[in-house]
Amino acid sequence: MSPMSPNGQQLHAPMSSLSMKPSDSLRYSLSPASAASPRDFSFALSASPSMSSSSHDFPGADEDREMSRAHIDLWKNLPLQAVRHIATGISIFIPQPIYKPHTQADQDRYIKHASLFEPIIFMVENPYEWGISLDDALRQRTKHLLGKDELMFENCGPSVSIRIQWPCYAPWSRQIPTKDFKNPKGPITKAKLAKNIAKCVSRFIEDNHTKRMEDDSDKRFRVGANYIKLEDLMLVSLHHISQGSWQPHFRLRRSIF
């Protein structure tokens, strides 16, 4: 079965038309979806010819390794694209390392052998940019969020983990529901997803604002009332970084230097 995107649709053709076989060397790239629609960007999965191997190589090892790193490349490359579409705030992203399970066995099970979905990008209009203010998302001021009524996680379980790897603080995670229990019951919308992530960040700041940072920490990224607050952040994207786990990319709205 072809993997599905969080809104229940098949992933873009370059991805869904490729079989995930060790014989294919795959890599992610960020590319415009259409030259006629420069604002719409898609995440294209392109194939390159398999590298030749000697008789002493393990067939497919390089390809498996490249496939398991594809989501990492997406995580690293997205800010490079996002800074081209800034109307408010600054171009500094919170420098989070990408989450990965602790053991190699879990990395194989929950990343390498899992079907990871495309990132969800939060674009707004008037003015157009990549990223929505977390304060706006929390207060449901989302009329300018593009696709705000799109359904998310249609074919997923009842909840997913949101993981935050904030510099100088312990890894943090919280479960959010993928269903809206209003009548009629159904998947949450993109606007509701943004609100749920904002609530997670608010709780993360509440949990950590009094905690001591490590001595060699970069104090610029300290959170709390006199430091980085919810209203200082923009939610740019949400990445599927392991089975059942998603990690958001945040951009600053003001200078911290």
Helix (H) or strand (E) holding 67: helix 61-68
Closest CA to 159 of 136, 131, 181, 184: 181
Question: Is residue 115 predicted with pLDDT exceeding 80?
Answer: yes
Q: Give mean pLDDT, residues 105-120.
A: 90
What is the pLDDT averaged over residues 35-50?
Answer: 34
Sign of the torsion angle spanned by Cα atoms 17, 19, 20, 22: negative
Decide which of 191 and 64 is more confident.
191
Q: Residue 152: which of 194, 183, 112, 181 has the closest Cα?
A: 194
pLDDT exceeds 50 at position 233: yes
Give mean pLDDT, residues 60-76.
Answer: 70
Mean pLDDT score of the chain, rounded to an integer? Answer: 78
Which pLDDT score is estimated for 227? Answer: 94
For 44, half-sphere exposure in the C-beta direction (CA atoms, 13 angstrom radius) is 12
What type of residue is 89?
G
Q: Which residue has the higher pLDDT, 149 or 14?
A: 149
Taking only the tens place, the pLDDT of each residue in 135-159 is: 999 999 999 999 999 999 988 899 9
Enumerate residues 6+ apart whose C-beta is below 8 A from 104.
none
Give 49 or 245, the one with higher predicted confidence: 245
Residue 56 confidence (pLDDT) above 90: no
More confident residue, 161 or 41: 161
- The residues spanned by each domain of the chain are 13-252
Contacting residues for 109 by C-beta, under 8 A, at least 6 apart? 101, 243
